[in-house]
Structure 1
């Protein structure tokens, strides 16, 4: 009798154990995991980096009571790419995860990201036209959509208004040109203390890519994504303009510290810098000795007042076991207006949804940063986002980006024939890309 009771007890315990395991598996099977890193994607101070995601999770769980959502906190941006890769290798990639720009082509190539075309086409509540197209298209590669935009940051020209005023120069309009840009840089570049050396300059941080974006040039070749097209008239004139700007400085390396100290008229910085450092008290810590504002990029001869727009993407794992639920959560992060409004409240970027950025509520948020100040024209932000350009990332390009930069700046700093040099560069780069 005792042995029978003991056997029954063992069986009951075993059954309870099985039930516990099954329940645990069912519970874990009802969890959507998100890959996220701590801090700002834009490398500026961010004390509330999880605030927006926490809010999304709370709202999602209210609407989907049978599902839980979780993430691992404390992963630094510099460690994030490797963490995602390691999770994928172990078969434990998060259902949804943020995708850094440089990782996007690689994650797409290895099949880590789910193709979102069918989700987009079959969802009557989803309208891609609500996005700013430069932001939306940044998640597009090889004619397919693999990630949705979460937050964007355009480059803008930051202007030292105090320096311009001292030189008797008015703040440029948002439709200014390369010619006006060069002329102001020429006027302000001088030796102010009489020691025979230049100590005041026109611009810091204006790159050859800024020049080609504003001159109507797209290096990316849609007919052959494994090549770049340097052999264009717009590319040649952009490099010529960069050479002329560079020659104003008499081979002196203009630094960000010089702009911080009020010795440079213009500095090219992302909008996230404006959001972070324009309000008090950050402005006092960063730029305390001059007044400053921002305007659009100057337009090239063959282009317009176009800025580069960088976008943080979020995608779905191709191995997710909850793809339909993950899609709904993905939309709540990228497409939902409440989430996108929070971008302006708790982050430093720009919402990727047009109706959010171009709204009175957003105006109120931005101007609350600067009580009593006029600030930049709100049409600037909408126009820059609407008409900006995104940098096409594709396999191998990022691995040779430094090579391209070195070659282009060698040409800028030389006296060689630019058109010949650009043809040679195209052959060299495309041969490397095809290896």
Structure 2
């Protein structure tokens, strides 16, 4: 690695967005928030498991699955493969169990796990390692990091390995969510999970109000009309018609703007467009819903609630969030819930397809072994073994939904959205993303508390964000 790349990596470590701030993507917050406790480190190496993931059940599930084959041969002698991921306690137990059974299938591949509790710490740690010329063989990657990793030459494209794996099944992965991981026609990462956003609704509140549930025919006008009707009460009894209140985030365009013909940035992330008439009109509409109609949670409401989303506690009638929320909702008993499509706008219907991935380090000396591990981990059987709530492989959605208690019709809905209108278009993922969000968000928050009007705030955002976008130029 040359000096220019090392300096670029130092910049990248400070520039790329991390999931704790999340900026519109709450998919992994719950998973990444908990520290990896000592219980994970003291698992019985001969029978790894705990009360949530008993070893006997894991063994039975492993033996029931058909594990895929690749034309890439196993190493002829012992190798140590280093795998770096971020996971909470429960996910890490399942990962350790996967590694245990993987070793039985591949006795010459020894797995050395490096688990970091938070993605903030993960990114800092491994960017520093990359600058020093050392990285694990296989490591986790968030969709907003990958282009930086590619630019700095620290991960390899995977196309040649996919070509050696006839049963890989690229068609089982949603094309709509792969753009983050591609450059010049090459694929550099394979998604560990992939999901769109949905419109969730509280059936109990709708039944009480005598209003029909949201469905595929709804447009945003209908959403706003019903959200106003469903808003009631005050203080701790407050019920919001809709959450969250739109703010600056990487997927702002795809969720709240593109349906109205507006965008935050241009598709190549080189120009600010949110200050154009379409953007001002769309954002003004969402701002009115907050400041005038009190239909969405204010900043004060969000601070009061802290990490508790109003919808999860029965204090919001409708909620726009990722399909990964279904696992949590399936476990709660406080109210009945449902999910449907994101509403339509004058310019169509859009939902972001977002996900994390695994990548292979360019400096790995065990690339064949790394591929064998990645392929099995990210195969349909791998997803089913790990009980991923939003698997990238579509063939794993229904089996996992059944195992997790998610209604079949909701899982079918997710697959339909991914195949129909989910997209990576409009989701910020280039180098300037964190700086753009960090710069624009407090400006818009001043509009949210009534200090400036929407047009003034958006013009200031354009003025201050535009110079940052030079960083998005891909060499």
Partner of 1:265: 317
The DSSP-based 3-state class of the residue aligned with 1:276 is helix
CA distance in 2 between counterparts of 1:231 and 1:427 reads 9
Structure 1 position 245 matched with structure 2 position 289? yes
Q: Name which of 230, 235, 241 aligns with 1:202.
A: 241
Change (3 A) 1:262 1:126: closer
> Displacement, 1:215?
4.5
Partner of 1:12: none
What TM-score results when the alignment is normalised by the length of structure 1?
A: 0.74
Change (3 A) 1:431 1:72: closer
The answer to whether the 8 Å contact 2:173/2:392 transfers is yes
Partner of 2:467: 431
Structure 1 position 355 matched with structure 2 position 389? no
CA distance in 2 between counterparts of 1:364 and 1:260 reads 22
> Displacement, 1:84?
1.7
The DSSP-based 3-state class of the residue aligned with 2:194 is strand
Structure 1 position 382 matched with structure 2 position 415? yes
> Displacement, 1:341?
2.0
Structure 1 position 131 matched with structure 2 position 170? no
Structure 1 position 146 matched with structure 2 position 185? no
Partner of 2:381: 338
CA distance in 1 between counterparts of 2:260 and 2:393 reads 26
The answer to whether the 8 Å contact 1:213/1:389 transfers is no
Partner of 1:33: 82
The answer to whether the 8 Å contact 2:141/2:358 transfers is yes
Gaps of 5+ in 2: 1-74, 303-307
> Displacement, 1:145?
2.4
> Displacement, 1:275?
0.2
The answer to whether the 8 Å contact 2:244/2:297 transfers is no
> Displacement, 1:95?
0.5
Change (3 A) 1:316 1:410: same
Structure 1 position 55 matched with structure 2 position 104? no
Change (3 A) 1:79 1:297: same
> Displacement, 1:62?
4.4
Change (3 A) 1:38 1:364: closer
Q: Name which of 369, 393, 403 aligns with 1:365.
A: 403
> Displacement, 1:135?
2.8
Deviation by residue 1:108-166 (Cα, 9 ceiling, x = unmatched): 33222223344445654444322012332232246542211011243333312222222
Partner of 2:201: 159
CA distance in 2 between counterparts of 1:167 and 1:191 reads 13
> Displacement, 1:316?
0.6
Gaps of 5+ in 1: 1-25, 40-45
Structure with the greater alpha carbon radius of gyration: 1
CA distance in 1 between counterparts of 2:262 and 2:156 reads 31
Partner of 1:302: 347
The answer to whether the 8 Å contact 2:82/2:111 transfers is yes
> Displacement, 1:35?
0.6
CA distance in 1 between counterparts of 2:410 and 2:115 reads 37
CA distance in 1 between counterparts of 2:225 and 2:216 reads 16
CA distance in 2 between counterparts of 1:123 and 1:273 reads 33
Q: Name which of 390, 395, 401 aligns with 2:437.
A: 401
The DSSP-based 3-state class of the residue aligned with 1:302 is coil
How many pairs does the alignment contain? 379
The answer to whether the 8 Å contact 2:339/2:410 transfers is no
CA distance in 2 between counterparts of 1:406 and 1:232 reads 20
The DSSP-based 3-state class of the residue aligned with 1:134 is helix
Partner of 1:312: 356
Change (3 A) 1:129 1:407: farther
